[in-house]
Chain A
Amino acid sequence: MKEFFAFVRKEFLHIFRDRKTLLVLIGLPTMLIVLFGFAISTEIRNVNIGFFSPQEDAVLSRLADKIDQSGYFTSVGWMRSEAEIDEAMRQGRIDVALMFGSDFTSGLYSPEGAVVSVVTDATNPNNASMEVMYLASIINEYFGSDISRSVSMRMAASANMSSASGMLVPNLRMLYNPQLKSSYNFVPGIMGLILMLICSLMTSVSIVREKETGSMEVLLVSPVRPINIVLAKMIPYFVIACVVLLNILLLTIFVLKVPVAGSFFWMILVSVIYIILSLGIGMLVSSLVRTQIIATLICGMIFLVPVMMFSGMLYPIESMPVALQWFAQVIPAKWFIEAIRKIMIEGVPVRYVTMEILVMTGMAAMFFTAAVVKFKDKL
């Protein structure tokens, strides 16, 4: 036991002496959270908009003000002609334009309806369709509440043809994430990524380093049991992973203001299972390879990249081809992210994540067994 603690102490010394790596480990998740939380966002904000109408109309200028005040759009004012809109679009002064047809307001009450065109810059198709959607809902709401519910309005968007009928007012409810914040989607993903990075990559590299430098040979001749060498390696990374986990959660709750809807206890427990699972992967990798470069490549290619691709963080798994959907099932992070999403965002009771917990526990047991079997007492 004494030799074990001597060894654990040494591992902590390694990590704390290597300030830069430690800084990256703690700093990277902080950076990612801030980056994803504020800079990278799928929401639209302050999109420059221009307006055009053949006639001056008080109703329309109030609508323009309303759009300007929504926060999603910033008005650059009324244009005098369609040519001016075209010009402004080319110069990049506006990203979207709203062009009302002649006699728009009176058209609202006529059976033929009124015509408004939404022109958007579709270079970024996601943004373009988002802008059309937001505009349509603002216009609908404006005329729906201000004038009358029985308004029939036809909208023709030149970039994205969409028409909404005023007769049919869909009642949308966004469950679990009413403000449609993208942070709800990526926080579990970042947790999955970072914890996997620390636990599998760092652990395996640190074990393999001892093989590379030859110190492993000296350790194997010493009375330390090989399994203890590996366990002692895991303890510091386990501690760091827990610190990083708390760091991410605090940032998420207090900086990104994403509340934890479900049980905090179970969320931590699920994370700890995932941490242990990742440590098992690190241990297995280190028992299979001999050089740090190979260990890095294996962890990076086989475990980290799929976390990005198949965890549902970037692309929804449901819309992938069936073969890839099956493949996603063997990605440990997929189960973790799913479980965290359910507990943290949906706030469901733990019995709904039993499946995820069981799968992760099973995977962890599998990796550890394989690693212990593969780990040779004798070089």
Chain B
Amino acid sequence: MMDKGHVIEVEHLTKRFGDFTAVDDISFHVSRGEIFGFLGANGAGKTTAMRMLTGLSFPTSGKGIVAGFDIWTQSELIKKHIGYMSQKFALYGDLTVQDNLELFAGIYGVSRRDAGQRIDELLGRLSLSHERGSLVKDLPQGWKQKLAFSVSIIHKPEIVFLDEPTGGVDPAARRQFWELIYEAVDEGITAFVTTHYMDEAEYCNRISMMVDGRIDALDSPAALKARYGAGSIAEVFDILARGAVRSE
């Protein structure tokens, strides 16, 4: 059923918690090498949808294929082929930069020799080679986030899931962060990004907008702006969110 060019395929995915339908029958696909923006207000169901795709929870109904594996039966295999960067900064502050990178290389089963090369390469990209031995807690926030991103792609995953990766970072650092995402995409990694910042949505190839657990719009930023006659993605979002029942 899966298109060769699709790394994520979701059909009629639904998640209910009791009476509450967090994710309501969503269907979409993400192409290989794409930057896919996953937008929506708080409580719209983004995080729940992402947890199902990353193998953290099972859907109530519906089908999903991630990196070629079924979300119902092959979540362990999915975990090996995806990367994940959490909204909360989640590297170990009391370990050094090098320790953190080695740890995740180990966890994802990267061989020792490959890990050494990959770590050099990633640190070079961040210009952080001289900070190898520093404790992560001593780094500035912007650097920590870039480091967390590097950790999430250390095993060259097929897809990297980024959950609000640029929260709490100044605009300049956010732009640098997006450059990193572009570099990763050049390596052939697909990026699945959730974000609050509507200006960031413009950087994506395609974006989906979730309202009340449904995907109300899904297209390239330019096409969406044209369809809703809006000047920016933020305006499109306002138009769609007006109909929302769930408030924050």
Q: Which residues of A are interface residues toward B (Cβ below 8 A)?
A: 2-3, 5-7, 9-10, 13-14, 17-18, 213-215, 217-224, 378-379
Does B103 lie within 8 Å of A7, measured CB to CB?
Answer: yes
**A-side interface mostly:** helix
User: Can you list 25 A-B pairs with a CB-CB distance of less than 8 A?
Assistant: A2-B109, A5-B106, A6-B106, A6-B107, A7-B103, A7-B107, A10-B99, A13-B94, A13-B95, A13-B99, A14-B94, A14-B95, A17-B94, A213-B88, A214-B88, A214-B89, A215-B91, A218-B84, A218-B85, A219-B107, A221-B84, A222-B108, A378-B56, A378-B58, A379-B57
Tell me how far the C-beta of A9 lies from the nearest C-beta in chain B, rounded to whole angstroms: 7
- Residues in B with CB closer than 8 Å to A14 are 92, 94-95
Top 6 closest A-B pairs, CB basis?
A: A6-B106, A214-B88, A221-B84, A215-B90, A218-B90, A223-B79
| Interface membership of B82, Cβ < 8 A | yes
Tell me how far the C-beta of B104 lies from the nearest C-beta in chain A, rounded to whole angstroms: 7
A6→B101 CA distance, assembly (Å): 11
| Interface membership of B102, Cβ < 8 A | yes
A223→B108 CA distance, assembly (Å): 7
A224→B92 CA distance, assembly (Å): 16
Does B90 lie within 8 Å of A9, measured CB to CB?
Answer: no
Does B90 lie within 8 Å of A217, measured CB to CB?
Answer: yes
Tell me how far the C-beta of A221 lies from the nearest C-beta in chain B, rounded to whole angstroms: 4
| With contact pairs A7-B103, A223-B80, A224-B107 given, residues A218 and B86 touching in the complex (Cβ less than 8 Å) | yes
Residue of A3, A17, A213, A222 touching B84 (CB-CB under 8 A): A222
Tell me how far the C-beta of A134 lies from the nearest C-beta in chain B, rounded to whole angstroms: 55
Tell me how far the C-beta of B118 lies from the nearest C-beta in chain A, rounded to whole angstroms: 14
What 0/1 pattern do residues 60 to 92 of B give for CB contact below 8 A with A? 000000000000000010011010111111111
- Residues in A with CB closer than 8 Å to B76 are 223
Does A17 lie within 8 Å of B88, measured CB to CB?
Answer: no
| Interface membership of B55, Cβ < 8 A | yes
Tell me how far the C-beta of A231 lies from the nearest C-beta in chain B, rounded to whole angstroms: 14
Further contacts, 20 of them, CB under 8 A, given A218-B84, A222-B84? A3-B106, A3-B107, A3-B109, A5-B106, A6-B103, A6-B107, A13-B99, A14-B92, A14-B94, A14-B95, A17-B95, A214-B87, A217-B56, A217-B86, A217-B88, A221-B79, A221-B84, A222-B108, A378-B56, A379-B56
Does B92 lie within 8 Å of A10, measured CB to CB?
Answer: yes
Tell me how far the C-beta of A126 lies from the nearest C-beta in chain B, rounded to whole angstroms: 47
Does B57 lie within 8 Å of A378, measured CB to CB?
Answer: yes
| With contact pairs A3-B106, A3-B108 given, residues A221 and B56 touching in the complex (Cβ less than 8 Å) | yes
Q: Which residue of B lies closest to A214 (CB)?
A: B88
Q: Which residue of B lies closest to A17 (CB)?
A: B94
- Residues in A with CB closer than 8 Å to B108 are 3, 222-223
A221→B90 CA distance, assembly (Å): 12
- Residues in A with CB closer than 8 Å to B51 are 379
- Residues in B with CB closer than 8 Å to A220 are 56
- Residues in B with CB closer than 8 Å to A214 are 86-90
A220→B57 CA distance, assembly (Å): 11
- Residues in A with CB closer than 8 Å to B150 are none
